Amino acid sequence: MKKLTVAIDGPAGAGKSSAARLAAGKVQYLYIDTGAMYRAITWAILQHHVNVQDEAAVGALIQHLSVRLEPLSDTCRVYVNDTEVTEEIRTQAISSHVSSVAALAVVRQKLVQLQRDMAKQGGVILDGRDIGTVVLPDADIKIFLTASVHSRAKRRYLELQAKGNTETLEEIENSIAQRDYQDSHRAVSPLKQAADAMLLDNSELNLEETADVITKLIRQKAQ
Ligand code: DC
């Protein structure tokens, strides 16, 4: 079987990471969570108290940073230099700064290069916002995974409720809509569907069904 490169892009909360991770496990591909890499850089910026708006300072800081993903069977450990930040990059502080960091050209240049290097050998699924358009324009399979704002907010609401969080559905809907807007209107590599990507709306699909669509595409194409 051919070892393909698979690009999955789409807005926040469509379940890209979970579906990509599950699909990668089923076909024994490597899963590369590019959002985690932007989060890792954001963690370092906050850690060093660098102003996110100061691109030169951010550039100087990240010159000496290495971001590393260590895939495990059902998760992916994230390191900045030798510090593990797997948990830390999921906090609200990181989530609220990461869009601004991901809008900086200096950050994107570094991470896009790293992502291309990681994808070189094939047998990989990358998920993000610009994989099919910028990182791997020649990817074997391109999927734009999305769902309505309402259904994405509802999933997130249920997730947060299980953790005891009290944010309302409306608040979550607003924050998802705002993040969509920010990610798709930034100057550098905005979130947009590649012309040759398959649109997959999973508003009515669960995680397992979404991953099945992806693995079917991979198995068909790899023959
Ligand atoms: O998928 P996520 O929520 O972990 O992504 C975090 C942020 O990084 C989000 O604001 C979009 C941005 N991102 C990006 O600009 N390009 C990517 N390839 C992946 C994520």
**Cα-to-centroid distance, 152 and ligand 1 (Å):** 16
Find out whether the beta carbon of 190 lies less than 6 Å from any atom of ligand 1.
no
Three-class SS of residue 165?
coil
Q: How far is CA 114 from CA 9, 106, 142, 222, in A?
A: 17, 13, 19, 25
Task: Estimate the crossing angle of helix 34-47 against helix 92-102, to 10 degrees.
Answer: 100
Model confidence pLDDT, tens digit, residues 124-161? 999 999 999 999 999 999 999 999 999 999 998 998 88
Indicate left, alpha or beta for 139 from its phi (over 0: left) and psi (-120 to 50: alpha).
beta
**Is ligand 1 within 6 A of the CB of residue 39?**
yes
Q: Is the pLDDT of residue 73 over 80?
A: no
Q: What is the pLDDT of residue 160?
A: 85
At residue 167, φ and ψ (nearest 5 deg) are: -60, 140
Residues 6+ apart with CB under 8 A from 165: none
CA 195 to CA 101: how far, in whole Å? 26
Model pLDDT, residue 182: 85
Q: What does R_g of the chain's alpha carbons equal in angstroms?
A: 17
Q: Which of 129, 131, 159, 192 to mutate to test the pocket of ligand 1 (most atoms within 8 A of CB)?
A: 129
Query: Nearest C-alpha to atom 4 of ligand 1 is from which residue?
Result: 35
> Which residue has the CA at smallest separation from atom 6 of ligand 1?
35
Q: What is the pTM of this model?
A: 0.91
pLDDT bin (cut points 50, 70, 90) of residue 167 is: confident
- Per-residue model confidence (pLDDT) at position 67: 97
Task: Print burial letters for 132-169: b (CB count within 10 Å at least 16), e (below 16).
Answer: bbbbbeebbbbbbbbbebebbbbbbbeeeeeeeeeeee
200: its two tokens: 């997959």
Q: What pLDDT score does 147 carry?
A: 96
- From the CB of 130, is ligand 1 less than 6 Å away? yes
Q: Closest Cα to residue 78, out of 129, 35, 134?
A: 35
- The pLDDT tens digits of the residues spanning 56-69 come to 999 999 999 999 99
Strands 30-33, 76-80: pairing kind: unpaired
> Rounded CA gap, 147 and 180, in Å?
12
Of ligand 1's listed atoms, the one at least distance from the Cα of 12 is: 3
Give rounded-to-5 percent helix, strand, coil for the chain: 50, 15, 30
Most confident of 33-47, 66-80, 146-160, 175-189: 33-47
Q: Which residues contact 71 (CB under 8 A, 6 or more apart)?
A: 30, 31, 32, 77
Which ligand 1 atom is the nearest neighbour of the CA of 36?
A: 4
Q: With a 6 A CB cut-off, is 127 part of the ligand 1 pocket?
A: no
Q: What is the pLDDT of residue 102?
A: 92
Verify whether ligand 1 is closer than 6 Å to residue 35 (CB atom). Answer: yes
Give the residue-averaged pLDDT of 20-45: 96
User: Is 99's C-beta closer than 6 angstroms to any atom of ligand 1?
Assistant: yes
Name the residue with the closest Cα to ligand 1, atom 8: 35
